Amino acid sequence: MVDELIQDLPARSLDFCFIDPFNWEISFKSIRRLTKERRMDLAITFHVGSMKRVAHNPPQELLDFFPDRSWQQEYKKATETGKLKGYVLLDAFKRGLANLGYKDIRDYVLEVNKRNVPLYYLIFASKHQRGADFWDKIAGRSEAGQLRMPIMTEKD
């Protein structure tokens, strides 16, 4: 499917791809293939809440969603030491994006549970600073052009 999509994209275009996997239906290998040698910004819905529910015994789809399996040992250590496990997953994925040439990678909390623990993040990644500048400009406005409150980051 990724190869078909790539064939439909102009060779020298500036692209934006929104990836919203419900249960990690896209592999990191597909993201790598899609973005290779392309100027493509990404927005990815990162379902950290559902990942944490199965990370102790991950299905193959979750294993394939990450760039490698290094997160599993980090996650186990975080579980044993009481550290925040969601960050382990998010950071592992962001490292994979950085290895693909993404220089500006940001994460925003989209939804939290009753205990204020993040369930979903939105990851924005750009290979160029201008992509991040553009994202900042559009993220502050609604579809109707109204200014909105800024998207919260986990660190806010």
Alpha helix positions (H), the chain:
2-8, 28-35, 48-54, 60-65, 70-81, 85-99, 129-139
What pLDDT shows up at residue 150? 55
Q: Do residues 28 and 65 make contact, with C-beta atoms less than 8 angstroms apart?
A: yes
What pLDDT shows up at residue 152? 53
- Which residue ranges in the chain fall short of pLDDT 70? 140-156
What pLDDT shows up at residue 55? 96
What pLDDT shows up at residue 146? 53
- Model-wide pTM > 0.85: no
- Smallest CA-to-CA distance from 112 within 154, 74, 144 is with 154
What pLDDT shows up at residue 48? 95
For the chain, the domains span: 15-139
What pLDDT shows up at residue 74? 96
Residue 42 DSSP label: E
What pLDDT shows up at residue 144? 53
In whole angstroms, what is the distance from residue 39 CA to residue 15 CA?
Answer: 6
Sign of CA dihedral 72, 73, 79, 83: negative
In whole angstroms, what is the distance from residue 114 CA to residue 69 CA?
Answer: 30
Half-sphere exposure for 8 (CA within 13 Å, toward CB)? 5
What pLDDT shows up at residue 147? 52
